[in-house]
Structure 1
Amino acid sequence: MRPLPEKAVSAVSHEQVLALEKALVAMPQVEITPVHYFAEGLYAREILIPAGTCLTGKIHLAEHVNIISKGRISVLTEDGVKTISAPATLVSKPGIKRAGYAHEDTVWTTIHACEAETVEEAEVALVVGTFEQFELAYGTKEALCHS
């Protein structure tokens, strides 16, 4: 198992992000339907986040690229909350669970080096549901992903 990466933990505690997520689940939900793209050795997931939406992301096992191609969103990053206006590109480290608030309709795409051929394979290879699962699984998903 590889050592956990530096900056895998955000400036805001895991407990705070999870508390926000718990509060959000109790509210009316916005339907966000991802669009999935597969290319040789790559998987991309694109979502449209409607203006006024507060959301949390998944915990990723590998470093990946994020592209914000439309809109403006405030996002919890490893260095605190930043407001990002499109066009923008950033890299996420493994183990980050982001939270965000879309000030405008925002298009967000994550791009992963991954040999998965289905959405289900990509989900298994790329994300986990809890920080405990991240700590157990980090470094064990190399069969489908190149990190």
Structure 2
Amino acid sequence: MKLTVTFNGFMRNKIVRLEESIRGLPQVELPVTHHFSKGLYARELFIPKGSVLVGKIHKEQNLNIISSGDISVLTDDGVMRLTAPSTIVSPPGTKRVGYAHEDTVWITIHATEETDLEKIERQVIAQTFQEFLDYTKSLKLEG
């Protein structure tokens, strides 16, 4: 398997620093609904208007659907505003910061046969960018 990953280290550092700076602020648990189909897992997240959130680092390419709402996201590529309905494909290594201008429903779809949420998290999420880089190196060694 060949995996090509490019990233903007400056933007990634900004995202990580922002995440660290807001970690001490009051946190809100955002409602999540989990959907499963043959070979697919969809994570549906409700993001209330005015919320700021920092996403996790995704190991694999995935599909994202904004089914309702209006949200700005900061990624390696800069700021992008998404209004429903919108669909985007995220490359491996994506980590975002979001600000919901309106109540927003964001659905992330991963290819997996797994149905255990803890196992899915370990399969599709890297806790740090170093873990992600180690993961990509292991894929190159296997392929």
Normalising by structure 1, we get a TM-score of 0.87
Q: 1:19 corresponds to which residue?
A: 17
Identify unmatched segments of 5+ residues in structure 1.
Answer: 142-147
Per-residue CA shift, 1:23-63, capped at 9, x if unaligned?
Answer: 12111112113111111100110100011111110101100
CA gap of 1:85–1:112, structure 2 versus 1, over 3 A, is same
CA gap of 1:46–1:12, structure 2 versus 1, over 3 A, is farther
Q: 1:145 corresponds to which residue?
A: none
Identify unmatched segments of 5+ residues in structure 2.
Answer: none
Count residues in correspondence: 139
Q: 2:48 corresponds to which residue?
A: 50
CA gap of 1:11–1:80, structure 2 versus 1, over 3 A, is farther
Q: Distance in 2 between matches of 1:69 and 1:22?
A: 29
Q: 2:90 corresponds to which residue?
A: 92
1:125 corresponds to which of 123, 126, 129: 123
Normalising by structure 2, we get a TM-score of 0.89
Q: 3-state SS of the aligned residue for 1:13?
A: helix
CA gap of 1:127–1:22, structure 2 versus 1, over 3 A, is same
In proportion to residue count, which structure has more helix? Answer: 2
Q: 1:83 corresponds to which residue?
A: 81
Q: 1:104 corresponds to which residue?
A: 102
The amino acid across from 2:59 in the alignment is: L
Per-residue CA shift, 1:50-85, capped at 9, x if unaligned?
Answer: 111111101011000000001000011342101110
Q: Distance in 1 between matches of 2:16 and 2:73?
A: 15
> Over aligned residue pairs, what C-alpha RMSD do you find?
1.8
Moved over 6 A (4+): none
